Amino acid sequence: MADHVAGDVAGQSAADSAPVHVERATKASRIFAVLAAVVLAALISLPWWGDIGWMRLIAEMAYYVALAQLWNLLAGYAGLVSVGQQAYVGLGGYMLFYLTGVWNVNVYLALLLAGPFAGLMSIPVSFAVFRLRGAYFAIGTWVVSEVFSLFASLILVLGAGSGLSLTVPILQEISPDRDVRGTMLYLMTLTMSLFVFAIVYLLLRSRHGLALTAIRDSEPASASLGVNTFRTKFIIYVATAACTGLIGGLIFLQKLRISPEAGFSINDWTVVVIFMVVIGGIGTLEGPFIGMLVYIALREFLADYGTYYLILLGLLAIAIMLKAPMGIWGWVIHRYDLQLFPVGRRLKLESADDASKR
Amino acid sequence: MQWLNILIQGSLLGGIYALFAIGLSMSFGIMRLVNIAHGDFIVLSGYVALVVTQATGLDPFSSLAIVVPVMFALGYVLQRGLLNQTLSGGLLPPLLVTFGISIIIQNGLLQGFGAYDHRLQEGAIETASLHLPGGIDVGVYPLLVFAVAVFAIASLQFLFYRTGVGRAFRAVSDDANTAELMGIDNRKLYALALGIAMIFTAIAGVLFGIRTIFDPAAGPIRLILAFEAVIIGGLGSMWGTLIGGMVLGIAQSVGAALDPTWQILAGHLAFLAILILRPNGLFPRTRD
């Protein structure tokens, strides 16, 4: 993965004579890639050895980690702290139900259209909310989501306040057999999650990722170096909306019912996702995975305590923000300089002298 | 005549939204803190008043004598002990810490009081009305709330422009670092600012609690209404916030007159329209 560059790129320093190359992977990341492939293979084969309960849980983890990666891309990299992403989850879900139920569109086609539709809707939305800065942007996106929710509750063809259900013939398009259908939905969710992660990962490794990382670290500085911050943010906003819409379609394909409260729920689709990213480590690719695991583990262990569990989650988020604002993975990077999904570029001297490593 | 009536009722409704917005506007204006838990503090004030009225037999208006100091103290301590630590590290820490506080308040109230609706009872004044010429009836209570909002903003203007503390607030708002060099203890001043903001939050919570039912989950919509009033009016302008509240109230009343289910939506749409047409609001003052 190492891009070799000419030695003179390094400049006129003492390292002038030594061949220099840019590293894009680390030893840890290569080992981890193998490990990740093994885990992925195990997850793909789960329908053949695991039960339906496990498949449900893993599917939920898969779509939550995808939502968390997207929110992290928005807030952690592009500086767009949105608390209105539930707008696109709801739009994607409603689009799927509307197309299949009213227009008899094939369920797979409807699912593929749900993403672009959410992306398209996010363009006019961005005209309004991009006028707001910082935390006001956050509340602005929330208002937009409320508007979509209120519209959905007024439109009769969308079932108004009570929402829509998926009918049996639509589900039989996937498979007439219930078990096969469960397996299909599980594999679709896993594929979607992997697809979203691949987009985010490749984007961050590309030159656009370099621009995004620069915006993350300092917006004025990146602008002064020639990064078109507005265009970058706009593209990221629309792309995340499209991916979020696709996830929304898949989520509600599994839930079989959608209503304005469920589709546009800020708690389910944004608050929980923010907790995951913040606890795991914002502005890193590893953080959302770790945060999702922590969240699911807490929820499984504390489910019996009802509201106390949410209070605990609130306290945890506050404590993390005050004591370790970079989250669990931020602490790991600080301590061990570990990167499992390297997106940066490291300059290495090929000769034995360790001057470059200090 | 029907439209004049809508205009009057909407403007009066705007008074309560302006009261919602004062606390939010103050904490943003002085410490650039956007308090996501603001709506939950409004609801919390209602619950504190509920406890006080039930425990002492006081009426809601008199309970303010206890609710206001309690909320002031809560604001002071919260800013001093927690929120001050979040102000130096960019956008996310204050946002997420207040988000956490919001979740804690909502679920704490749910645990303590259940998910039921509550309302504060103030007696005859709730239903009294004045008959104006032309067949327009104006409720005494909405009129009173509007008067309180005007008085609250006037007294804040007095505090900001006629007192020493107000001068310090303006100095910190303009340039926190220079103000500190001039001998102002920013941390104490911020704590005082959130304390004062909470006074108005408490008044808004009790007055709205007499008018409308509330439950533990009622905070977010109040935050959104307060936020819309602030943005429509223009950041940093207190009188603008009052106008913003009135615009919101009128838009909601017009929406409700067309179709009752359109009330809230009409307010949101008016907000988005103003955001697109006049991004800095109607009377902008500070820039973020």
**Pairing label, strands A257-258, A164-165:** antiparallel
Residue A205 lies in a domain: yes
Q: Are residues A99 and A212 in the same domain?
A: yes
Q: Is residue A189 part of a domain?
A: yes
Residue A263 and residue A118 in one domain: yes
Chain A hits for B276, Cβ within 8 Å? 127-128, 131
Chain B closest CA to A5's CA: distance in Å? 37
pLDDT of residue A302 exceeding 70, the answer is yes
Claim to verify: residue A138 and residue A184 sit in the same structural domain: yes
Q: Are A308 and B224 an interchain contact pair (Cβ–Cβ within 8 Å)?
A: no
In angstroms, the CA A87 to CA A78 distance is 19
Q: Are residues A236 and A306 in the same domain?
A: no
User: Alpha helix locations (H) across B127-237?
Assistant: 140-162, 164-174, 176-181, 186-211, 219-233
A vs B: CB pairs below 8 A: 120
Co-location of A243 and A319 in the same domain: no
DSSP designation for A14: G
Q: What is the pTM of this model?
A: 0.87
A299 in the same domain as A192: no
Of B97, B227, B279, the CB nearest to A139: B227
Per-residue tokens: A79: 């500086």
Give the start-to-end residue ranges of the domains of chain B: 19-216
Same structural domain for residues A185 and A327?
no
The answer to whether residues A175 and A320 belong to one domain is: no
Cβ <8 Å between A308 and B107: yes
| A128 contacts on B by Cβ (under 8 Å) | 272, 275-276
In this prediction, the answer to ipTM > 0.95 reads no
Q: Which of A255, A285, A315 is the last residue of a domain?
A: A285
Tell me the three-class secondary structure of B99-130, residue by residue: HHHHHHHHHHHHHHHCCCCECCCCCHHHCCEE
Asked if A57 and A299 count as a contact pair (C-beta separation under 8 A), the reply is no
Q: Which residues of A touch B104 (CB under 8 A)?
A: 311, 314-315
In a domain, A161, yes or no: yes
Letter string b/e over residues B93-115, b meaning 16 or more CB atoms within 10 A of that residue's CB: bbbbbbbbbbbbbbbbbbeeeee
Q: What is the pLDDT of residues A74-122, one digit of tens each?
A: 998 888 999 999 999 999 999 999 999 999 999 999 999 999 999 999 9
* Domain co-membership, A226 together with A321: no
Count of domains forming chain A: 2
A146/A169 same-domain check: yes
Residues spanned by the domain of A224:
52-285
Confirm or reject contact between A328 and chain B (CB < 8 A).
Answer: no
Q: What's residue A215's pLDDT?
A: 84
Would you state the pLDDT for residue B226?
95
Of residues A53 and B91, the one with the higher pLDDT is: A53
DSSP string, B33-50: ---TTHHHHHHHHHHHHH
pLDDT mean across residues, chain A: 86
